[in-house]
């Protein structure tokens, strides 16, 4: 009976020992992925800010705040279409960055289509990849880091300049009780395209370009990233845009600030983002840590128990029910 039980325990020990590395190295890379239908909205603010008022004789003003609303919407139909030729799980995000003045009026809006691998977050190049209607070819990541983010620099795509540049790992920090990786990227002053949609009716980027005016931009980008999910729990930018050769439009200065401010996530959206990341973090840890280590420990325990039962079954006193030794035979009487 003991030997049969030890064989059953040994079989379970082998099963759980085999499941431990399979979960971590086989199941996790295939199961952990971004859902194609994900929708996310984020509100950021620069308080206070410097803003060019196009509707008031192009005056530069100090305003109490500028609001940036960023939305990411998964395009399931497009992702399924690309998957048929790409041969892998693909996510298509249709993103929009909408900038509004203190009165809620549109300052600029930049649409994007970001196509990437659902598991690794590596860019997938396909028809439709764009920023503000301009076809682009991304290198590196945007919006999100890979699962199990490493302590190293990454290439990060900048939508304004349409270029990818290193975003540098600057160390591990504690943010709202979470251990996160802190990254920084600085884009030096760079000439960038005018937004396709301008805040003044009838004025187009082509018309502005004919005057000789150019748009320039610089930013310091900061992210606090959860290393388990690869999701930023916080993001900030010290952002500045200028129009140069502005005297061509009759302005008194040759360089005019379009927008300048320290952009931060609004507090209510920051709290909801942290709560969402914490919930997703548990799911990733189940596949990468909790279950693999739990199965390894359980397999070791079952193996030890199986060996103990096997050893016990081989003891002489285990051959009788109850473990009592067999009585010695009585000596035969000696014949007279």
**266-298 tens-digit pLDDT:** 999 999 999 999 999 998 988 888 888 888 888
Q: Could you tell me if 116 and 91 are in contact, meaning their C-beta atoms sit under 8 angstroms apart?
A: yes
Reading the block at residue 173, the tokens are 């920090």
* Placement of tokens 């996310």 in the chain: 40
Is the residue at 82 inside a domain?
Answer: yes
Q: Which helix (H) or strand (E) holds 35?
A: none
Hey, how many other C-beta atoms are within 10 angstroms of the C-beta on 81? 16
Task: Find the domain containing 237 and state its range.
Answer: 32-265
3-state class percentages of the chain: helix first, strand second, coil last, to nearest 5: 30, 40, 30
Residues 170-185 pLDDT 10s: 999 999 999 999 999 9
5 lies in some domain: no
Q: What is the DSSP string of 168-199?
A: EEEEEEEETTEEEEEEEEEEEEEEEPPPSS-S
Q: What is the pTM for the complete model shown?
A: 0.86
Of the two residues 310 and 317, the one the predictor is more confident about is 310
The per-residue pLDDT for 321 is 53
CA gap 140, 138 in Å, rounded: 7
Give the tens place of pLDDT for each residue, 123-151.
Answer: 999 999 999 999 999 999 999 999 999 99
Q: Does residue 115 belong to any structural domain of this protein? A: yes
Radius of gyration of the chain (CA): 32
Q: Are 235 and 144 in contact (CB under 8 A)?
A: no
Q: Report which of residues 26 and 1 the model is more confident about.
A: 26
Whether 221 is covered by a domain: the verdict is yes
Give first-to-last CA distance, the chain, whole Å.
48
Residue 325 has pLDDT above 60, yes or no: no
Secondary element (H or E) of residue 96: strand 90-100
- Report the DSSP beta bridge partners of residue 182: 171, 224
Whether 303 is covered by a domain: the verdict is no
Domain membership of residue 8 (yes or no) is no
Asked whether residue 150 is domain-assigned, the answer is yes
Task: Please answer whether residues 63 and 260 qualify as being in contact, where contact means their C-beta atoms are separated by less than 8 angstroms.
Answer: no
Is residue 117 a part of any domain in this protein? yes
Strand pairing report for 39-53 and 255-265? antiparallel
Greater confidence (21 vs 67) lies with: 67
The total of structural domains in the chain comes to 1
CA distance 74 to 91: 7
């Amino acid at each position: 009976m003991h030997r049969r039980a030890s064989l059953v325990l040994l079989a379970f020990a082998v099963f759980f020992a085999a499941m431990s590395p399979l979960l971590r190295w086989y199941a996790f890379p295939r199961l952990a992925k971004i859902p194609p239908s994900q929708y996310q909205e984020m509100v950021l603010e620069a308080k206070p800010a410097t803003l060019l008022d196009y509707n008031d004789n192009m005056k530069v003003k100090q305003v109490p705040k500028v609001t940036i609303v960023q939305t990411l919407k998964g395009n399931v139909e497009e992702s399924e279409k690309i998957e048929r030729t790409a041969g892998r799980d693909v996510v298509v995000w249709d993103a929009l960055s909408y900038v509004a003045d203190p009165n809620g009026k549109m300052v600029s809006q930049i649409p994007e289509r970001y196509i990437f691998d659902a598991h690794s977050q590596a860019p997938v190049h396909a028809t439709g990849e764009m920023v503000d209607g301009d076809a682009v070819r991304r290198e590196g990541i945007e919006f999100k880091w890979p699962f199990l983010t490493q302590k190293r620099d990454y290439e990060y795509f900048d939508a304004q300049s349409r270029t990818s540049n290193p975003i540098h790992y600057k160390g591990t920090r504690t943010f709202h009780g979470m251990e996160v990786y802190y990254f920084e990227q600085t884009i030096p002053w760079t000439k960038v395209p005018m937004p396709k949609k301008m805040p003044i009716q009838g004025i187009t980027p082509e018309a502005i370009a004919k005057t000789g005016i150019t748009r320039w931009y610089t930013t310091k980008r900061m992210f606090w990233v959860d290393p388990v999910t690869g999701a930023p729990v916080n993001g900030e930018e010290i952002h500045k845009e200028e129009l140069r050769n502005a005297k061509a439009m009759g302005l008194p200065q040759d360089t005019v600030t379009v927008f300048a401010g320290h952009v931060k996530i609004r507090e209510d959206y920051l709290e909801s983002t942290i709560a969402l990341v914490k919930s997703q973090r548990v799911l990733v840890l189940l596949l990468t840590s909790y279950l693999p280590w739990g199965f390894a420990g359980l397999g070791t325990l079952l193996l030890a128990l199986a060996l103990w039962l096997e050893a016990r079954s081989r003891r002489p006193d285990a051959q009788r029910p109850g473990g009592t030794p067999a009585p010695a035979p009585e000596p035969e009487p000696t014949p007279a």
